[in-house]
Amino acid sequence: MTLTTYNSQITLMKILCVLYDDPKGGMPKSYPLSNLPKLNKYPDGMTLPTPKGIDFNPGELLGCVSGELGLRKFLESKGHTLVVTSDKDAKGCKADKELVDADIVISQPFWPYYLTREKIETAKNLKMAITAGIGSDHVDLQAAMDKKIDVVEVTYCNSRSVAEHIVMMILSLVRDYHNQHAIVKAGGWNIADAVQRSYDVEGMHIGTVAAGRIGLDALRKMKPFDVHLHYFDRHKLPDSVEKELSLTFHESVESLVKVCDVVTINCPLHPETENLFDDKLISKMKKGAYIVNTARGKICNREAIAKALKSGQLSGYAGDVWFPQPAPNDHAWRSMPNHGMTPHTSGTSLSAQYRYAAGVREILECFFDKKPIRDPYLIVQNGQLAGMGAHSYSKGSATGGSEEAAKYKKNN
Protein backbone atom coordinates (compact mmCIF):
# COMPACT_ATOMS: atom_id res chain seq x y z
CA MET A 1 0.00 0.00 0.00
CA THR A 2 1.33 3.39 -0.95
CA LEU A 3 1.19 5.85 1.93
CA THR A 4 1.13 9.62 1.96
CA THR A 5 2.66 11.73 4.73
CA TYR A 6 2.44 15.44 5.41
CA ASN A 7 5.77 16.87 6.49
CA SER A 8 4.96 20.54 6.85
CA GLN A 9 4.67 21.94 10.35
CA ILE A 10 1.12 21.66 11.64
CA THR A 11 -0.26 24.82 13.26
CA LEU A 12 -3.69 25.62 14.59
CA MET A 13 -6.20 25.32 11.81
CA LYS A 14 -9.74 26.23 10.87
CA ILE A 15 -11.94 23.37 9.73
CA LEU A 16 -15.13 24.15 7.83
CA CYS A 17 -17.69 21.35 7.96
CA VAL A 18 -20.75 21.55 5.69
CA LEU A 19 -23.52 19.17 6.77
CA TYR A 20 -27.22 18.71 6.10
CA ASP A 21 -29.91 20.24 8.30
CA ASP A 22 -31.08 18.80 11.62
CA PRO A 23 -34.36 16.85 11.79
CA LYS A 24 -37.39 19.16 11.72
CA GLY A 25 -38.43 17.85 15.14
CA GLY A 26 -34.99 18.25 16.69
CA MET A 27 -32.25 15.74 17.38
CA PRO A 28 -33.44 12.26 18.41
CA LYS A 29 -33.66 11.59 22.12
CA SER A 30 -33.51 7.86 21.47
CA TYR A 31 -32.95 5.51 18.54
CA PRO A 32 -34.79 2.39 17.31
CA LEU A 33 -31.70 0.20 17.84
CA SER A 34 -29.47 0.35 20.90
CA ASN A 35 -26.33 -0.80 19.08
CA LEU A 36 -24.91 -1.67 15.67
CA PRO A 37 -23.63 -5.04 14.43
CA LYS A 38 -19.90 -5.44 15.01
CA LEU A 39 -17.93 -5.24 11.76
CA ASN A 40 -14.15 -5.18 11.47
CA LYS A 41 -13.35 -5.53 7.78
CA TYR A 42 -14.84 -4.86 4.36
CA PRO A 43 -15.27 -7.78 1.92
CA ASP A 44 -11.90 -7.11 0.27
CA GLY A 45 -10.12 -7.34 3.62
CA MET A 46 -9.57 -3.61 4.18
CA THR A 47 -10.21 -2.65 7.78
CA LEU A 48 -12.94 -0.24 8.75
CA PRO A 49 -11.75 3.21 9.89
CA THR A 50 -9.39 2.95 12.87
CA PRO A 51 -9.14 6.35 14.58
CA LYS A 52 -7.46 6.57 17.96
CA GLY A 53 -10.81 7.43 19.47
CA ILE A 54 -14.33 8.69 18.81
CA ASP A 55 -16.53 11.06 20.79
CA PHE A 56 -19.91 9.60 19.83
CA ASN A 57 -21.90 6.41 20.13
CA PRO A 58 -22.10 4.31 16.95
CA GLY A 59 -25.62 4.56 15.55
CA GLU A 60 -26.17 8.22 16.47
CA LEU A 61 -27.23 10.85 13.93
CA LEU A 62 -23.88 12.41 13.01
CA GLY A 63 -24.31 13.72 9.46
CA CYS A 64 -26.44 16.76 10.33
CA VAL A 65 -25.35 20.12 11.72
CA SER A 66 -25.84 19.24 15.39
CA GLY A 67 -24.18 15.85 14.86
CA GLU A 68 -20.97 17.62 13.73
CA LEU A 69 -19.55 14.23 12.66
CA GLY A 70 -18.61 13.89 16.31
CA LEU A 71 -15.57 16.14 15.72
CA ARG A 72 -15.93 19.19 17.97
CA LYS A 73 -14.42 17.82 21.19
CA PHE A 74 -11.51 16.27 19.32
CA LEU A 75 -10.68 19.38 17.27
CA GLU A 76 -11.16 21.97 19.99
CA SER A 77 -9.09 19.93 22.46
CA LYS A 78 -6.18 20.44 20.06
CA GLY A 79 -6.86 24.16 19.71
CA HIS A 80 -8.34 24.01 16.22
CA THR A 81 -11.46 25.90 15.18
CA LEU A 82 -14.51 24.02 13.89
CA VAL A 83 -17.25 25.83 11.96
CA VAL A 84 -20.33 23.78 11.05
CA THR A 85 -23.08 24.99 8.72
CA SER A 86 -25.71 23.80 6.29
CA ASP A 87 -25.84 27.20 4.50
CA LYS A 88 -23.88 26.43 1.35
CA ASP A 89 -25.47 27.56 -1.91
CA ALA A 90 -26.88 31.08 -2.21
CA LYS A 91 -24.62 34.05 -2.88
CA GLY A 92 -23.13 35.22 0.40
CA CYS A 93 -23.82 31.89 2.13
CA LYS A 94 -22.01 31.13 5.37
CA ALA A 95 -19.93 28.35 3.84
CA ASP A 96 -18.47 30.72 1.23
CA LYS A 97 -17.67 33.33 3.88
CA GLU A 98 -15.96 30.80 6.15
CA LEU A 99 -14.07 29.14 3.30
CA VAL A 100 -11.94 32.23 2.71
CA ASP A 101 -9.61 31.47 5.64
CA ALA A 102 -10.32 27.76 6.13
CA ASP A 103 -7.49 25.23 6.09
CA ILE A 104 -9.66 22.15 5.67
CA VAL A 105 -13.18 21.77 4.31
CA ILE A 106 -15.35 18.73 4.99
CA SER A 107 -18.50 18.01 2.97
CA GLN A 108 -20.85 15.12 2.34
CA PRO A 109 -22.09 13.84 -1.05
CA PHE A 110 -25.64 13.97 0.31
CA TRP A 111 -25.45 17.75 0.94
CA PRO A 112 -22.45 18.67 -1.20
CA TYR A 113 -20.62 21.92 -0.87
CA TYR A 114 -19.70 22.50 -4.51
CA LEU A 115 -16.06 23.54 -4.43
CA THR A 116 -15.87 25.19 -7.82
CA ARG A 117 -12.71 26.73 -9.20
CA GLU A 118 -14.06 30.19 -8.32
CA LYS A 119 -14.52 29.20 -4.69
CA ILE A 120 -11.16 27.50 -4.50
CA GLU A 121 -9.55 30.71 -5.79
CA THR A 122 -10.88 32.54 -2.70
CA ALA A 123 -9.50 29.96 -0.26
CA LYS A 124 -5.86 30.96 0.09
CA ASN A 125 -5.23 28.72 3.13
CA LEU A 126 -7.02 25.62 1.86
CA LYS A 127 -4.89 22.49 2.11
CA MET A 128 -7.36 19.65 2.00
CA ALA A 129 -10.95 18.81 1.04
CA ILE A 130 -12.39 15.78 2.81
CA THR A 131 -15.47 13.93 1.61
CA ALA A 132 -17.37 12.39 4.53
CA GLY A 133 -18.49 9.47 2.42
CA ILE A 134 -17.48 8.44 -1.10
CA GLY A 135 -17.59 10.42 -4.33
CA SER A 136 -15.67 13.69 -4.56
CA ASP A 137 -17.09 15.08 -7.80
CA HIS A 138 -18.51 18.07 -5.90
CA VAL A 139 -14.91 19.30 -5.84
CA ASP A 140 -13.45 20.73 -9.03
CA LEU A 141 -10.69 18.12 -9.12
CA GLN A 142 -8.78 19.91 -11.85
CA ALA A 143 -8.71 23.12 -9.82
CA ALA A 144 -7.62 21.14 -6.75
CA MET A 145 -4.77 19.65 -8.77
CA ASP A 146 -3.77 23.06 -10.10
CA LYS A 147 -3.75 24.57 -6.60
CA LYS A 148 -2.07 21.57 -4.94
CA ILE A 149 -5.06 21.00 -2.67
CA ASP A 150 -5.37 17.39 -1.59
CA VAL A 151 -8.75 15.67 -1.88
CA VAL A 152 -9.54 12.61 0.23
CA GLU A 153 -12.60 10.53 0.98
CA VAL A 154 -13.52 7.59 3.21
CA THR A 155 -13.40 4.89 0.55
CA TYR A 156 -15.70 1.90 1.11
CA CYS A 157 -17.34 3.43 4.22
CA ASN A 158 -20.86 3.37 2.79
CA SER A 159 -20.48 1.26 -0.35
CA ARG A 160 -22.41 -1.67 1.09
CA SER A 161 -25.12 0.67 2.33
CA VAL A 162 -25.59 1.93 -1.22
CA ALA A 163 -25.63 -1.62 -2.62
CA GLU A 164 -28.46 -2.49 -0.23
CA HIS A 165 -30.33 0.60 -1.41
CA ILE A 166 -29.91 -0.51 -5.03
CA VAL A 167 -31.51 -3.88 -4.32
CA MET A 168 -34.37 -2.15 -2.51
CA MET A 169 -34.92 0.19 -5.45
CA ILE A 170 -34.80 -2.57 -8.08
CA LEU A 171 -37.42 -4.61 -6.26
CA SER A 172 -39.54 -1.55 -5.47
CA LEU A 173 -39.58 -0.47 -9.13
CA VAL A 174 -40.22 -3.84 -10.71
CA ARG A 175 -42.87 -4.83 -8.15
CA ASP A 176 -44.33 -1.26 -8.23
CA TYR A 177 -44.19 -1.06 -4.46
CA HIS A 178 -44.52 2.72 -4.25
CA ASN A 179 -47.89 2.71 -6.01
CA GLN A 180 -49.19 -0.15 -3.86
CA HIS A 181 -48.13 1.52 -0.63
CA ALA A 182 -49.71 4.81 -1.72
CA ILE A 183 -53.03 3.01 -2.33
CA VAL A 184 -53.03 1.65 1.21
CA LYS A 185 -52.08 5.00 2.75
CA ALA A 186 -54.97 6.61 0.85
CA GLY A 187 -57.40 4.08 2.33
CA GLY A 188 -57.79 2.06 -0.86
CA TRP A 189 -57.82 -1.64 -1.72
CA ASN A 190 -58.17 -1.87 -5.50
CA ILE A 191 -55.90 -4.79 -6.29
CA ALA A 192 -56.11 -4.33 -10.06
CA ASP A 193 -54.80 -0.78 -9.73
CA ALA A 194 -52.07 -2.06 -7.44
CA VAL A 195 -50.73 -4.80 -9.71
CA GLN A 196 -51.20 -3.50 -13.25
CA ARG A 197 -47.49 -2.49 -13.41
CA SER A 198 -46.09 -5.18 -11.07
CA TYR A 199 -43.72 -7.94 -12.26
CA ASP A 200 -41.33 -10.53 -10.84
CA VAL A 201 -37.62 -9.77 -11.09
CA GLU A 202 -36.81 -13.48 -11.49
CA GLY A 203 -35.37 -14.23 -14.92
CA MET A 204 -34.69 -10.61 -15.79
CA HIS A 205 -31.37 -9.35 -17.12
CA ILE A 206 -29.74 -6.99 -14.60
CA GLY A 207 -26.68 -4.95 -15.57
CA THR A 208 -24.39 -2.50 -13.84
CA VAL A 209 -22.50 0.38 -15.42
CA ALA A 210 -19.25 0.01 -13.44
CA ALA A 211 -18.52 -2.99 -11.28
CA GLY A 212 -16.43 -1.50 -8.51
CA ARG A 213 -17.18 -1.97 -4.83
CA ILE A 214 -20.81 -0.85 -5.11
CA GLY A 215 -21.67 -2.29 -8.52
CA LEU A 216 -20.17 -5.70 -7.83
CA ASP A 217 -21.76 -5.90 -4.38
CA ALA A 218 -25.16 -5.07 -5.90
CA LEU A 219 -24.73 -7.90 -8.42
CA ARG A 220 -23.80 -10.32 -5.64
CA LYS A 221 -26.89 -9.31 -3.69
CA MET A 222 -29.12 -9.78 -6.75
CA LYS A 223 -27.80 -13.22 -7.73
CA PRO A 224 -30.08 -15.15 -5.29
CA PHE A 225 -33.09 -13.75 -7.18
CA ASP A 226 -32.22 -16.03 -10.12
CA VAL A 227 -31.51 -13.24 -12.58
CA HIS A 228 -29.01 -12.93 -15.43
CA LEU A 229 -26.16 -10.59 -14.50
CA HIS A 230 -24.23 -8.23 -16.81
CA TYR A 231 -21.59 -5.55 -16.32
CA PHE A 232 -19.60 -2.88 -18.12
CA ASP A 233 -16.42 -1.48 -16.61
CA ARG A 234 -13.18 -0.09 -17.95
CA HIS A 235 -11.44 -2.54 -15.58
CA LYS A 236 -12.45 -6.13 -16.40
CA LEU A 237 -13.15 -8.33 -13.39
CA PRO A 238 -11.09 -11.47 -12.75
CA ASP A 239 -12.28 -14.59 -14.56
CA SER A 240 -12.93 -16.24 -11.20
CA VAL A 241 -15.45 -13.54 -10.25
CA GLU A 242 -17.17 -13.71 -13.64
CA LYS A 243 -17.49 -17.48 -13.28
CA GLU A 244 -18.70 -17.28 -9.67
CA LEU A 245 -21.57 -14.94 -10.54
CA SER A 246 -22.11 -16.08 -14.13
CA LEU A 247 -21.40 -12.53 -15.29
CA THR A 248 -21.54 -11.34 -18.88
CA PHE A 249 -18.97 -8.63 -19.62
CA HIS A 250 -19.78 -5.87 -22.11
CA GLU A 251 -17.11 -3.75 -23.78
CA SER A 252 -19.46 -0.77 -24.09
CA VAL A 253 -22.39 0.74 -22.25
CA GLU A 254 -24.41 0.53 -25.47
CA SER A 255 -23.95 -3.23 -25.60
CA LEU A 256 -25.10 -3.63 -22.01
CA VAL A 257 -28.22 -1.45 -22.16
CA LYS A 258 -29.52 -3.21 -25.29
CA VAL A 259 -30.03 -6.49 -23.42
CA CYS A 260 -30.84 -5.46 -19.82
CA ASP A 261 -34.27 -5.13 -18.24
CA VAL A 262 -32.75 -3.22 -15.32
CA VAL A 263 -29.65 -1.02 -15.48
CA THR A 264 -28.02 0.18 -12.27
CA ILE A 265 -25.53 3.04 -12.58
CA ASN A 266 -22.51 2.88 -10.27
CA CYS A 267 -19.75 4.83 -12.02
CA PRO A 268 -18.14 8.04 -10.71
CA LEU A 269 -19.14 11.40 -12.15
CA HIS A 270 -16.44 13.12 -14.18
CA PRO A 271 -16.39 14.78 -17.61
CA GLU A 272 -16.45 11.42 -19.41
CA THR A 273 -19.62 10.21 -17.68
CA GLU A 274 -21.53 13.51 -17.43
CA ASN A 275 -24.88 13.18 -19.27
CA LEU A 276 -23.95 9.62 -20.31
CA PHE A 277 -27.60 8.56 -20.26
CA ASP A 278 -29.00 11.01 -22.78
CA ASP A 279 -31.75 10.67 -25.38
CA LYS A 280 -29.47 8.71 -27.70
CA LEU A 281 -28.36 6.10 -25.17
CA ILE A 282 -31.82 5.70 -23.63
CA SER A 283 -33.25 5.08 -27.09
CA LYS A 284 -30.94 2.05 -27.37
CA MET A 285 -32.30 0.48 -24.18
CA LYS A 286 -34.92 -2.26 -24.19
CA LYS A 287 -38.34 -0.63 -24.30
CA GLY A 288 -39.81 -0.65 -20.83
CA ALA A 289 -36.48 -1.05 -19.04
CA TYR A 290 -35.79 0.36 -15.59
CA ILE A 291 -32.89 2.54 -14.43
CA VAL A 292 -31.58 2.69 -10.87
CA ASN A 293 -29.05 5.48 -10.29
CA THR A 294 -27.30 5.74 -6.94
CA ALA A 295 -24.10 7.12 -8.48
CA ARG A 296 -24.56 10.79 -9.40
CA GLY A 297 -27.57 12.60 -10.84
CA LYS A 298 -25.59 14.36 -13.55
CA ILE A 299 -24.71 11.03 -15.20
CA CYS A 300 -28.33 11.04 -16.43
CA ASN A 301 -29.69 13.89 -18.51
CA ARG A 302 -32.57 15.38 -16.56
CA GLU A 303 -34.92 16.05 -19.47
CA ALA A 304 -34.10 12.77 -21.23
CA ILE A 305 -35.09 10.70 -18.17
CA ALA A 306 -38.37 12.57 -17.65
CA LYS A 307 -39.25 12.29 -21.35
CA ALA A 308 -38.48 8.55 -21.47
CA LEU A 309 -40.73 7.86 -18.49
CA LYS A 310 -43.56 9.84 -20.04
CA SER A 311 -43.24 8.03 -23.39
CA GLY A 312 -42.90 4.57 -21.87
CA GLN A 313 -39.39 3.98 -23.19
CA LEU A 314 -38.53 3.58 -19.51
CA SER A 315 -40.94 1.79 -17.17
CA GLY A 316 -39.36 3.30 -14.07
CA TYR A 317 -36.50 5.36 -12.72
CA ALA A 318 -35.31 5.16 -9.13
CA GLY A 319 -32.62 7.63 -8.27
CA ASP A 320 -31.00 8.44 -4.97
CA VAL A 321 -28.93 11.19 -6.54
CA TRP A 322 -29.83 14.51 -8.16
CA PHE A 323 -28.06 17.44 -9.73
CA PRO A 324 -27.71 19.77 -8.09
CA GLN A 325 -28.25 18.78 -4.45
CA PRO A 326 -30.50 19.81 -2.88
CA ALA A 327 -32.65 19.69 -6.00
CA PRO A 328 -34.77 22.76 -6.78
CA ASN A 329 -38.42 22.26 -5.83
CA ASP A 330 -39.45 22.34 -9.49
CA HIS A 331 -36.87 19.75 -10.55
CA ALA A 332 -38.49 17.53 -13.19
CA TRP A 333 -37.60 14.36 -11.33
CA ARG A 334 -39.84 15.27 -8.40
CA SER A 335 -43.02 15.03 -10.49
CA MET A 336 -42.23 12.66 -13.39
CA PRO A 337 -44.33 9.46 -13.61
CA ASN A 338 -43.27 6.06 -12.27
CA HIS A 339 -40.27 7.21 -10.29
CA GLY A 340 -38.90 6.05 -6.95
CA MET A 341 -36.67 8.96 -6.00
CA THR A 342 -35.08 9.38 -2.56
CA PRO A 343 -33.15 12.45 -1.27
CA HIS A 344 -29.66 10.89 -1.44
CA THR A 345 -30.04 8.76 1.65
CA SER A 346 -28.51 5.50 0.38
CA GLY A 347 -25.09 6.13 1.88
CA THR A 348 -26.05 7.97 5.05
CA SER A 349 -27.85 5.33 7.08
CA LEU A 350 -26.96 5.54 10.76
CA SER A 351 -24.72 2.51 10.22
CA ALA A 352 -22.84 4.27 7.42
CA GLN A 353 -22.58 7.51 9.39
CA TYR A 354 -20.59 5.73 12.08
CA ARG A 355 -18.08 4.54 9.50
CA TYR A 356 -17.66 7.79 7.59
CA ALA A 357 -17.47 9.91 10.76
CA ALA A 358 -14.81 7.59 12.15
CA GLY A 359 -13.02 7.73 8.79
CA VAL A 360 -12.95 11.53 8.76
CA ARG A 361 -11.48 11.49 12.25
CA GLU A 362 -8.84 8.97 11.15
CA ILE A 363 -7.88 11.23 8.23
CA LEU A 364 -7.63 14.29 10.46
CA GLU A 365 -5.56 12.43 13.06
CA CYS A 366 -3.12 11.37 10.36
CA PHE A 367 -2.92 14.87 8.93
CA PHE A 368 -2.31 16.55 12.30
CA ASP A 369 0.20 13.90 13.43
CA LYS A 370 2.09 13.94 10.09
CA LYS A 371 1.31 10.26 9.64
CA PRO A 372 0.29 8.39 6.49
CA ILE A 373 -3.24 8.62 5.14
CA ARG A 374 -4.48 5.39 3.60
CA ASP A 375 -3.77 5.26 -0.11
CA PRO A 376 -7.35 4.12 -0.97
CA TYR A 377 -8.64 7.34 0.62
CA LEU A 378 -6.66 9.56 -1.77
CA ILE A 379 -8.35 11.23 -4.74
CA VAL A 380 -5.92 14.11 -5.43
CA GLN A 381 -2.48 14.41 -3.87
CA ASN A 382 0.45 16.69 -4.75
CA GLY A 383 -1.33 18.04 -7.81
CA GLN A 384 -2.17 14.66 -9.36
CA LEU A 385 -4.92 12.09 -9.27
CA ALA A 386 -3.83 9.52 -6.70
CA GLY A 387 -5.01 6.41 -4.89
CA MET A 388 -8.64 5.67 -5.64
CA GLY A 389 -8.80 8.90 -7.64
CA ALA A 390 -6.32 7.59 -10.20
CA HIS A 391 -8.40 4.42 -10.55
CA SER A 392 -11.84 6.02 -10.83
CA TYR A 393 -11.62 9.61 -12.09
CA SER A 394 -10.35 11.58 -15.06
CA LYS A 395 -9.04 15.13 -15.06
CA GLY A 396 -11.50 17.99 -15.29
CA SER A 397 -14.57 19.15 -13.41
CA ALA A 398 -18.28 18.33 -13.35
CA THR A 399 -19.34 21.05 -10.90
CA GLY A 400 -20.78 23.39 -13.53
CA GLY A 401 -24.38 24.38 -12.91
CA SER A 402 -24.26 23.67 -9.18
CA GLU A 403 -25.48 27.18 -8.34
CA GLU A 404 -28.98 25.95 -9.20
CA ALA A 405 -29.07 24.31 -5.76
CA ALA A 406 -29.74 27.76 -4.28
CA LYS A 407 -33.24 27.55 -5.77
CA TYR A 408 -34.26 24.88 -3.26
CA LYS A 409 -36.71 26.20 -0.68
CA LYS A 410 -37.30 24.26 2.52
CA ASN A 411 -40.89 23.18 3.05
CA ASN A 412 -41.29 23.71 6.78
Q: Where are the domains of the chain?
A: 14-158+348-386, 159-335
Burial label, 52 (beta-carbon count in 10 A; 0-12, 13-18, 19+): exposed
Q: Which CATH superfamily is domain 14-158+348-386 in?
A: NAD(P)-binding Rossmann-like Domain (3.40.50.720)
The SS3 of residue 320 is coil
Percent of the chain topping pLDDT 70: 97
pLDDT digit string, tens, across residues 374-393: 999 999 999 999 998 998 87
Q: Can you give the length of the chain in residues?
A: 412
Radius of gyration of the chain, Cα coordinates, nearest whole angstrom: 21
Q: DSSP letter at 3?
A: -
Say if residues 362 and 153 touch (Cβ distance below 8 Å): no
Task: Find out whether 211 and 233 touch, Cβ atoms under 8 Å.
Answer: yes
Q: How many other CB atoms sit within 10 Å of the CB of residue 245?
A: 17
Looking at this protein, which amino acid is placed at residue 92? G
Would you state the pLDDT for residue 411?
A: 65
**142, 400 contact by CB (below 8 A):** no
Task: Determine the Cα–Cα distance for residues 292 and 341; give it in Å rounded to an integer.
Answer: 9
Whether 20 and 65 have beta carbons less than 8 Å apart is answered as: yes
Look up the CATH superfamily of 159-335. Answer: NAD(P)-binding Rossmann-like Domain (3.40.50.720)
Return the SS3 of 340. Answer: coil
pTM summary value: 0.93
DSSP helix/strand/coil, 200: coil
For residue 410, what pLDDT is reported?
76
404 vs 128: which has the higher pLDDT:
128
pLDDT tens digit string along 84-135?
A: 999 999 899 999 999 999 999 999 999 999 999 999 999 999 999 999 999 9
pLDDT in tens, 208-238: 999 999 999 999 999 999 999 999 998 999 9
| Whether the predicted pLDDT of 2 surpasses 70 | no
- Give the H or E element holding residue 379: strand 378-381
Reported confidence tier of residue 399, pLDDT bands at 50, 70, 90 = confident
Mean pLDDT of 274-287: 98
391 CB burial (10 A radius; 0-12, 13-18, 19+): middle
Listed range (4-18, 31-45, 317-331, 355-369) with the worst mean pLDDT: 4-18
Give pLDDT tens digits for 158-213: 999 999 999 999 999 999 999 999 999 999 999 999 999 999 999 999 999 999 99
Between residues 137 and 402, which one has the greater pLDDT?
137
Say whether 42 sits in a helix, a strand or coil.
Answer: coil
Each residue's pLDDT tens digit, 335-351: 999 999 999 999 999 99
CB 276 within 8 A of CB 303: no
CB 154 within 8 A of CB 134: yes
pLDDT of residue 1: 39
pLDDT over 90 for what percent of the chain? Answer: 88
Backbone angles phi, psi at 300, to 5 degrees: -105, 135
Sorting pLDDT into bands at 50, 70 and 90, what band is 403? confident
Active site residues: 158, 296, 325, 344
Is there a common fold for 14-158+348-386 and 159-335? Answer: yes
CA atoms within 13 A on the CB side of 402: 23
